Amino acid sequence: MEHLLNLLIKAIFVENVVFAFFLGMCSFLAVSKKIKTAFGLGLAVIFVMILTTPLNYLILTYLLKDGALAWIHPSLANVDLTFLAFILFISTIAGAVQIVEMAVEKFTPALYNSLGIFLPLITVNCSILGTSLFMQEREYNFVETAVFSLGAGIGFFLAIVLLAAIRERLRYANIPAPLQGLGIAMIITGLMGMAFLSFSGIQL
Amino acid sequence: MAVETAPAPVVEKKKEPLFSKKNIRTLRDPLDDNNPITVQVLGICSALAVTVQVKPALIMALGVIFVTAFSNLIISLLRHTIPTRVRIIVQLIVIATLVTIVDQVLRAYMFDVSKKLSVFVGLIITNCIVMGRLEAFALANKPWPSFLDGVGNGVGYGIILVVVAVFRELFGSGTLMGYQVVPQWAYDMGYVNNGLMMLPPAALFIIGVYIWIQRSINKKLVNVS
């Protein structure tokens, strides 16, 4: 139990997907102009993250890994399909996003309208696929995978809402013209990353 | 190995007939005026974490050039047969297949680099440059210009990656491509490597400053985004 809590804290703060690995930077920079949209996107990312990563874990363990197909027929015991991981992972994510989109549209049209284009764009948010790939590389078990994906999602949510808040303030700042927009956003992300580095001092 | 910035102009001169003026523009625009990272804001995601040293950055750049060029080519060839509604999935499958090839080649011939790049090779799939160029260019253009557009954007991305990596490796560990550049006597006199350069935020600072310099020189880019 303590181990899982550590994993969660680590995924949110110490190894924040945005500040430590630069994952999901595209939408992070593009959608962080207003707190409200950032909030919506962050929530959607958390949701897709905790849906797809455990799903990908199951696909990896029961279909792709070396010998994973043995449950179908013993003769398949030495089939290793791990090289198909990228294609299956991204298909799962694209499919899950599509389902989430349809569900949200059907049951809560208000949320659907406020999220707009950002919902389908989650498919190509690097942080989602990145979390699945980290799960594969670090060989988590199922519970760890679920906790890790929740942590990564919350980490992204936290990062994008924080940056949006800072950028709303920046509108009143006097920044040199060539640095406005993307340039200053990069540097602020760097500074926030440095702040998040202080969490690595936590003993877990 | 350091051919990253050179290929574009050299190739242009050799095969002039194939390269009409428009095609050359397609190839050259992404290097500066329409750079995927600093102007289009695409593909920052998977890139920055691999820039601690020059060598992985170069290999990552080559991988991205390969994927952008050939996915552009393939999608452009298929552009009349793909139904609009399912095009995203088709694009993802094409990209994922190409990335799988890159990943397997790296694993087979450069295992140590492949370990260092870890998940970031796989993340080329969701690198927005690839998708962005497919949507913006390959779906509406003939195969050859699309191929050039892919190469151009890949190289434009690679330049940024290598610039950032050179700064980070030179100041962070005093080496370039693994060779010692900062001499021992400098350390004896009290020179210390900049530890910040090894940490993730340094990449963001360097890109931020790069954008600042680029937009100061190239005024028409100011306030693009």
B49 touches chain A (CB under 8 A): yes
Query: A173: exposed, middle or buried (C-beta count within 10 Å: 0-12, 13-18, 19+)?
Result: exposed
**Closest Cα partner for A48 from A95, A97, A94?**
A97
- Within 8 A of B211 by CB-CB distance, chain A residues are 178-179, 182-183, 186
Structural domain includes residue B23? no
For A26, the closest of B41, B203, B211 (CB atoms) is B41
Q: DSSP secondary structure string, chain B?
A: ---SSSHHHHHHHHTGGG--HHHHHHHHGGGTTT-TTTTS--S-TTTGGG-SSHHHHHHHHHHHHHHHHHHHHHHHHHTTTS-GGGHHHHHHHHHHHHHHHHHHHHHHH-HHHHHHHGGGTGGGTT-HHHHHHHHHTGGGS-HHHHHHHHHHHHHHHHHHHHHHHHHHHHHHHSEETTEE-S-HHHHHTT----GGGGSHHHHHHHHHHHHHHHHHHSGGGTT--
Percent of chain B with pLDDT over 90: 0
A5 touches chain B (CB under 8 A): no
Percent of chain B with pLDDT over 70: 84
Average pLDDT, chain B: 78
CB-based contact A37:A180 (threshold 8 Å):
no
Smallest CA–CA distance, residue B180 to chain A, in Å, is 27
Tally the C-alpha atoms within 13 A of residue B171's C-alpha that lie toward its C-beta: 15
- Please determine, for residue B186, whether its predicted confidence score (pLDDT) is greater than 90: no
- Within 8 A of A152 by CB-CB distance, chain B residues are none
Structural domain includes residue B103? yes
State the count of interchain CB pairs (< 8 A) between A and B.
144
For B118, the closest of A20, A83, A137 (CB atoms) is A137
Structural domain includes residue B157? yes
- Please determine, for residue B7, whether its predicted confidence score (pLDDT) is greater than 50: no
Q: Tell me, what amino acid is at B99?
A: V
Question: So what's the pLDDT on residue B1?
Answer: 36
What pLDDT digit, counting tens, does each position of A101-155 carry?
888 788 878 777 766 666 777 777 778 888 888 888 888 888 999 999 999 999 9
Sorted by sequence, the CB contacts under 8 Å of residue A48 that are 6+ apart come out as A93, A96, A97, A100, A122, A128
Structural domain includes residue B133? yes
Q: Closest chain A residue to B217 measured between Cα atoms?
A: A178
Question: So what's the pLDDT on residue A150?
Answer: 92
Among B residues 85-124, those touching chain A with beta carbons less than 8 Å apart = 88-89, 92-93, 96-97, 99-100, 103-104, 118-119, 122-123
Which of A18, A86, A98, A122 is the mutation pick for testing B, counting most B CBs within 10 A? A86
Query: Structural domain of residue B165, as residue ranges?
Result: 39-215
Mean pLDDT of B168-196: 80
From CA A72, how far away is CA B13, in angstroms rounded? 58
Which backbone phi and psi does B176 adopt, to 5 degrees?
A: -135, 130
A169 against B2, higher pLDDT:
A169
Contact A87 B96 (CB under 8 A): yes
Smallest CA–CA distance, residue A200 to chain B, in Å, is 12
Contact A133 B122 (CB under 8 A): yes
From CA B126, how far away is CA B123, in angstroms rounded? 5
What pLDDT digit, counting tens, does each position of A20-29 carry?
877 888 778 8
A102 touches chain B (CB under 8 A): no
- Within 8 A of A176 by CB-CB distance, chain B residues are 212
What pLDDT digit, counting tens, does each position of A59-77 carry?
888 887 777 677 777 777 7
Mean pLDDT of B56-85: 87
A91 touches chain B (CB under 8 A): yes
What pLDDT digit, counting tens, does each position of B123-150 carry?
788 777 788 788 788 888 888 888 888 8
Report pTM: 0.79
Structural domain includes residue B223? no
Cα angle value B204/B57/A83 (rounded, 5°):
115
**How would residue B18 be classed by pLDDT, with cut points 50, 70 and 90?**
low
> What's the per-residue H, E or C state across A177-203?
HHHCCHHHHHHHHHHHHHHHHHHHHCC
Q: Which of A153-157, B35-39, B195-199 has the highest mean pLDDT?
A: A153-157
Question: So what's the pLDDT on residue B2?
Answer: 39
Contact B212 A178 (CB under 8 A): yes
Q: Closest chain B residue to A94 measured between Cα atoms?
A: B89
Question: So what's the pLDDT on residue A154?
Answer: 93
Contact A91 B223 (CB under 8 A): no
Question: So what's the pLDDT on residue B47?
Answer: 62
Q: Closest chain A residue to B107 measured between Cα atoms?
A: A83
Contact B128 A120 (CB under 8 A): no
Q: Cβ of B25: how many Cβ atoms within 10 Å?
A: 15
* Rounded alpha-carbon distances, angstroms, from residue A173 to A152, B13, B96: 32, 47, 43
A76 touches chain B (CB under 8 A): no
Contact B44 A87 (CB under 8 A): no
Which of A25, A56, A59, A170 is the mutation pick for testing B, counting most B CBs within 10 A? A25
Count of the separate structural domains present in chain B:
1
Structural domain includes residue B13? no
B156 against B26, higher pLDDT:
B156
- Please determine, for residue B11, whether its predicted confidence score (pLDDT) is greater than 60: no
Q: Closest chain A residue to B216 measured between Cα atoms?
A: A178
Structural domain includes residue B6? no
Structural domain includes residue B33? no
Contact A182 B211 (CB under 8 A): yes
A39 touches chain B (CB under 8 A): no
Percent of chain A with pLDDT over 70: 96
